[in-house]
Amino acid sequence: MISIVIPVKNEAESLPHLTDELFAILKTVREPYEILFVNDGSTDKTKIALESVARKNKHVRVFHFRANFGKSEALAYGFSQAKGNVVVTLDADLQDNPKEIIKLIEKLNDGYDLVVGWRKERKDSVEKKISSYLFNVGTRFLSGVPLHDYNCGLKAMTGNVAKSLNLHGELHRFIPILAAKLKYKVTELPVAHRKRKFGKSKFGLGRSWRAVIDLLTVLFLTHYEGKPAHFFGLYGFLLTSIGFVMNAYVTYIRVTTGSVGHHIPLLLAGILLMVIGVQLISVGLIAELVTSMSRKKQDYV
């Protein structure tokens, strides 16, 4: 079965056109399918439009959030409800062409676990293009996952990938990185992109700083989630060693001259570094203990 998960926020005008396109495409697919709309606290007539679509088509399932919790939470909930062994994500603003779904699914059959759409010729404002370019270049450099468009809403993945992802905050932007760090095979395909016809873009520069913070969070968790003592221990040991060397030098001065003289600030700095270092090592050990106690059994197959 193919599950199509679509997060929606204030897209009442685009929904009739989107569903018409989706049904036309999915009629050509032999596999059974379902379309899951997750209404993320819309304040327009989105709820009415979705309920109308659901009444007319048995393949449609609709879920309404009581408030706006964010795209990551909407996708995560959709993934938890999806029944398919193939899961497709799609934005509701009509900028992603539903016709591209077929070739993404076909690419999965080549042995990939996640296929990401690459909006090679974006139909967006200059501001959005520049912001996206900088975001993708920075993400590629920091993550080491060689893609061009990490945040394209159009993706196809196996059910295992969808169920493995822990999304919150702005982490939907980094689904390819999360999947790659879980050792799933990730690739991309160029897809058509269209201008927005209805509604208003959710894009804003105010979201960029949150994306940077979340990228750093992703990199930290994917590298050190199972071994936090390595991260805290490394820097704790480094600071403790520097502090020890500084104090050893002051001690040497005291022994050879009989006075520390003007080296008291150096002594205090050394003591401070050693205290901070020991605290970091302690935090690492505690984090390691908490992680080992709360670690869930992971599916490695």
If we measure between CA atoms, which residue out of 57, 48, 55 comes closest to residue 13? 48
- Which range, of 62-66, 70-74, 145-149, 293-297, averages the lowest pLDDT? 293-297
* Local confidence band at 301 (pLDDT 50, 70, 90 cut-offs): very low
pLDDT of residue 133: 85
The β-bridge relationship of strands 60-64 and 33-39 is parallel
- In this predicted structure, the answer to whether residue 214 has a pLDDT above a threshold of 80 is no
Sequence-separated (6 or more) residues with CB below 8 Å from residue 162: 3, 5, 79, 82, 87
Query: Is 117 found in the same domain as 64?
Result: yes
In the predicted structure, residue 103 carries a pLDDT above the cut 90: yes
Q: Clarify whether residues 117 and 248 are in a common domain.
A: no
Q: Is the residue at 180 inside a domain?
A: yes
User: Which structural domain range is residue 233 located in?
Assistant: 228-294
Question: Would residue 75 count as lying in a domain?
Answer: yes
Residues 155 and 220 occupy one common structural domain: yes
Residues 168 and 255 in one domain: no
- The reply to whether 301 falls in a domain is no
- Better-scored residue on pLDDT, 95 or 198: 95
Mean pLDDT is lowest, of 34-48, 119-133, 259-273, for 119-133
Q: Which residue has the higher pLDDT, 214 or 35?
A: 35
Band of residue 207 on the pLDDT scale cut at 50, 70, 90: low
Is residue 241 located within the same domain as residue 206?
A: no
Same domain, 42 and 128: yes
| CA separation for the pair 132, 138 (Å, rounded) | 10
Question: pLDDT category, 245, cuts 50, 70, 90?
Answer: very high
* CATH number of the structural domain spanning residue 94: 3.90.550.10
Q: Which of 10-19, 182-191, 259-268, 281-290 has the lowest mean pLDDT?
A: 281-290
Q: How confident is the model at residue 101 (pLDDT cuts 50, 70, 90)?
A: very high
Q: Is residue 248 predicted with pLDDT exceeding 80?
A: yes
Last residue of a domain, one of 193, 224, 255: 224
Residues 169, 277 within the same domain? no
User: Are residue 170 and residue 30 in the same domain, yes or no?
Assistant: yes
| Domain end residue (candidates: 200, 224, 248) | 224
Evaluate if residue 297 carries a pLDDT over 80.
no
3-state secondary structure of 248: helix
Find the Cα–Cα–Cα–Cα dihedral 80, 86, 90, 92, rounded to 10°: -60
pLDDT in tens, 68-89: 999 999 999 999 999 999 999 9
How much is the pTM? 0.73
pLDDT at 224: 62
Q: Which residues pair with 158 in a beta bridge?
A: 86
**12 and 143 co-located in one domain:** yes
Mean pLDDT of 257-270: 87
Q: Is the pLDDT of residue 253 over 60?
A: yes
Task: Read off the amino acid at residue 217.
Answer: T
Tell me whether residue 191 is in a domain. Answer: yes
pLDDT value of residue 62: 95
CA distance 34 to 25: 13
Q: Evaluate if residue 223 carries a pLDDT over 70.
A: no
DSSP secondary structure, 56-124, as one string: H-TTEEEEE-SS---HHHHHHHHHHH---SEEEE--SSS-B-GGGHHHHHHHHTTT-SEEEEE-SS--S
For residues 180 and 184, what is the distance between their CA atoms, to the nearest angstrom?
5
Please give the helix or strand (H or E) that residue 38 lies within, else none. Answer: strand 33-39
Across all residues in the chain, what is the average pLDDT? 86
More confident residue, 218 or 34: 34
Are residues 232 and 88 part of one domain? no
The answer on 195 and 250 residing in a single domain is no
Nearest CA-CA partner of 201 in 130, 99, 119, 95: 95
d(CA 124, CA 276): 48
Across the range 274-298, mean pLDDT stands at 73
Of the residues 164, 198, 224, which one is the last residue of a structural domain?
224
Mark whether 19 and 108 lie in a shared domain. yes
Tell me the helices (H) and strands (E) count for the chain, helix number first: 10, 7
User: In sequence order, what DSSP letters do the residues of 111-156 get, joined into one string?
Assistant: T-SEEEEE-SS--S-HHHHHHHHHHHHHHHHHH----S-TT-S-EE
Task: Give tens-digit pLDDT for 157-185.
Answer: 999 999 999 888 778 988 999 899 889 99
> Looking at the 3D structure of the chain, how many domains does it have?
2
* Residue 300 domain flag: no
pLDDT at position 68, please? 92
